[in-house]
Amino acid sequence: MVIRIPNSAAALYCFPSPWATPTPSVMAFLPSKLALGYPNSTLFSAAPKLSSLRLPPFRVSCAKRTGKKRYPSEKKKLKLKHKEVLTTVENKFEGIWRLFKLGVPVEKDPGKDFHGLSDALMQEIAKVLEFPVASLLPREAFSVIRKSFDARKMLKEPKFVYTVDMDVHRLLILEPRARDFISDLEPKVGLMEHFAKEKVSNDVINIVHDLKSNQEMVGANGLNGHSGPYLRLSNGKPKIAVVGSGPAGLFASLVLAEFGADVTLIERGQPVEQRGRDIGALVARRILELDSNFCFGEGGAGTWSDGKLVTRIGRNSGSVQAVMKSLVYFGAPKNILLNGKPHLGTDRLIPLLRNIRQHLEMLGVNIKFGTRVDDLIEESGHVVGVKVSDSRDKSKLSNQKLEFDATVLAVGHSARDVYQMLMSHNIPVVPKEFAVGLRIEHPQELINSIQYSGLANEVEKGRGKVPVADYKVAKYVNDMKNPSSNSLAASHSCYSFCMCPGGQVVLTSTNPGELCINGMSFSRRSSKWANAALVVTVSTKDFSDLGFHGPLAGVEFQRELEQRAGVMGGGNFVLPVQTATDFMDRRLRATPVPPSSYRLGVKASNLHELFPGHITEALQQSILAFDKELPGFLSSDALLHGVETRTSSPVQILRNPETYESTCLRGLYPVGEGAGYAGGIVSAAVDGMYAGFAVAKSFNLYHGDLETVLGHLTKSTRFHLQLKYKAILLTFKTSIEFLCRNQNKTLLGPAEGTFSAPLQYFLHTLNRVALDPIRHRHLQILHIIIG
């Protein structure tokens, strides 16, 4: 079964989430490295056409559980929520009543760009309140807090769905006759809930200002846990380096600068103006600047993007609201706070980034564009600075050492050189699962008509009443051919990712020999194409099947696929493409491929030979299943582009979940997507913001409890804990493997009573882990190794 969420409020831009996405699978398929579809390769050519096959025994199951299918823990949680909602109404005549799921049919609604209270919406409100005359309800007492468009086929008719707040106090002042109706109101979970008082979250700038005015500033004298040789306070302020100006780095810089730290923001790429020219040169003249491109430069990877601001870490949480309100503070339109699926588009992101830059400079942040961090300077287990070079200086002769008290590392998932550098410092980097696949592109009109049927002509290239249609599809496949295999290892999650309605396919390579892509769009989403990644989760088993082991195995796996795509495309950034129907049939028809939005050229290729067999099969299965849900999805007009590899970080850099500091090196704060703690613009910004507060706290610039300000990091905390647990296990595995490999070398250090470097590293990590059962087990293993 497929989950189809056309334009409902539930679509997500996010990383393959370990708490929601089934663990990836592997079917044994190839002994070592992939045999690409080169002329002599018979590996895949012998495979039968899919259309002539009886469906292979894949079980496709639903990833979302509702009703009876809910897990007992989910049912319990829901029951608790019911109880909480029903018992917390202390005074019905005070506070806020929140009315959910107020549906207004399309023909009665002014359209997607209207966020006020239309007559039709007032009618709906009156109906819910059982108030007889809608026109008597004073509009001033109501405010729209969310609007989304729902065109699911299961509905009688497509409609706009609203969430509205009713301020009871104001309502009763303006219309005292409403009192009787209010007294009859009973809360219903998810339909009508009561809140004692309106929860108002703020933007980051005002949050910090409020905190500063409420607390007596301790300043840098009472440093919290930061004493020692590595202190380099300038004018009494801690000197902090933030590496990377993506959402994570920008929000970390913002928080720290607002708290008064002496911040230097180091970015290997160029400011948006120059970056725009570099991207222009790439698209027009095929010149790839290694440090200024679709991944590197001001604003990070999300600048030339669709600017989707949807996230799985709790849309209404204080932290997400703080990020969204900060974006509005810097010039984003207010409707991003109300839209069910907010997005900005590249044209709006660029001026917004300029405003953030100006604000940071006004706060005294020293922004160094075109400056690449090549190494960390380490002293007695502390990072005390960084080595940088001019990123346009190919000779790398412009090396410079900069001293800092702390370094926030927010380098994104494409900084492969940084991962390598961290390894040389023995910083625990562990492989993490991510997803790979292809980007599928359809004519936008086809997606509009699949999703909206008769309403499709209301789209009007983004200027119409209803939003440009999108989709999000997911399925979970289990390989029943191989029942003896470990069920987790034989299952895959396949899903669409980063769907860009009215967008275009763009080149996100950071190296000319490697080809990878993503999607972007402008705010109107008016192009004639709709693209989305179709990806399959992969993990260490997949990497080792191709002969890649160790912490950077995922990076090698990505690189391998990117190089193969480069070879298939024939060079010059030409993309290998195949129609979806040919991909299903494992063949390449001689007819020309349909047009593509990709500007650097496409070449018809055997994309079914690009991946290991089980990934291709999983993709084929998912396309078949998606076509059942979205009839027409599988067609010869649908063009698959290779290759989508950088869906999220292939590694995680371990850190303490409370302090955000590296588990191994003091003064180093790995954050954002590259460190494995985020998977989109909003989640990266939230992570950077929390890290900013954590660093500020460690220097006593702030000494409160962040959760009282931003609320609990509910889902993301859970996510962090799960990742932490997984990551710890992997670190131990890596460390033990390392120790085993070095068994023949001495485990003791040069001086009496000291240990060798690998053993020290292992013990160091062990000491930082608070999970006793793991520690105990690994100490036992250590005893065995040491003998």
Binding residues for ligand FAD, rule: CB under 6 A, are: 13, 243-249, 266-269, 294-297, 300-302, 304-308, 372-373, 410-412, 415, 418, 498, 506, 508, 518, 520, 672-674, 678-682, 684
Structure tokens at 543: 């990497």
Residue closer to ligand FAD, measured from CB, 245 or 622: 245
Single-letter amino acid, residue 220? A
Residue closer to ligand FAD, measured from CB, 270 or 478: 270
Cα 124 to its chain centre, rounded Å, is: 36
Residue closer to ligand FAD, measured from CB, 456 or 498: 498
Distances in whole angstroms, Cα of residue 493 to Cα of each of 25, 63, 182, 197, 273: 8, 9, 47, 41, 39
Q: What are phi and psi of 744, to 5 degrees?
A: -70, -20
Where does residue 190 fall: left (phi above 0), alpha (psi -120 to 50 degrees), or beta otherwise? left
At its nearest, how many Å lie between ligand FAD and the CB of residue 16? 12
Burial-class residue 549 by CB neighbours within 10 Å (0-12, 13-18, 19+): middle
Residue 291: which residues within 8 A CB-CB, separation 6 or more? 268, 269, 270, 297, 370, 372, 391, 392
Residue closer to ligand FAD, measured from CB, 411 or 494: 411
At its nearest, how many Å lie between ligand FAD and the CB of residue 619? 21
Cα 374 to its chain centre, rounded Å, is: 26
At its nearest, how many Å lie between ligand FAD and the CB of residue 413? 6
At its nearest, how many Å lie between ligand FAD and the CB of residue 682? 6
Helix or strand holding residue 146 (H, E): strand 142-150
b/e map 595-634, b = 16+ CB within 10 Å: ebbbebebebbbbbbbbbbbbbbbbbbbbbbbbebbeebb
Residue 732 CB-half CA count within 13 A: 20
Other residues' Cβ atoms within 10 Å of the Cβ of residue 154: 6
Cα of first residue to Cα of last residue in the chain, in angstroms, is 53
Residue closer to ligand FAD, measured from CB, 418 or 654: 418
At its nearest, how many Å lie between ligand FAD and the CB of residue 78? 29
At its nearest, how many Å lie between ligand FAD and the CB of residue 528? 19
Residue closer to ligand FAD, measured from CB, 41 or 335: 335
Helix or strand holding residue 579 (H, E): strand 575-579
* Token pair 């009713």: residue: 166
370 with 392: CB under 8 angstroms? yes
Residue closer to ligand FAD, measured from CB, 36 or 684: 684
Residue closer to ligand FAD, measured from CB, 478 or 597: 597
Residue closer to ligand FAD, measured from CB, 187 or 300: 300
Q: Write a three-state SS string for 150-172.
A: ECCCCCCCCEEEEEEEEEHHHHH
Other residues' Cβ atoms within 10 Å of the Cβ of residue 783: 9
Residue closer to ligand FAD, measured from CB, 322 or 739: 322
Q: What are phi and psi of 145, to 5 degrees?
A: -115, -10
Residue closer to ligand FAD, measured from CB, 289 or 585: 289
According to DSSP, residue 520 is labeled E
Residue closer to ligand FAD, measured from CB, 503 or 612: 503
655 with 720: CB under 8 angstroms? no
At its nearest, how many Å lie between ligand FAD and the CB of residue 470? 11
Single-letter amino acid, residue 489? A
Structure tokens at 174: 């303006």
Strands 262-266 and 159-167: unpaired
Residue closer to ligand FAD, measured from CB, 164 or 602: 602
Cα 401 to its chain centre, rounded Å, is: 33
Q: What is the dihedral of CA 707, 684, 160, 306, to 10 degrees?
A: 160
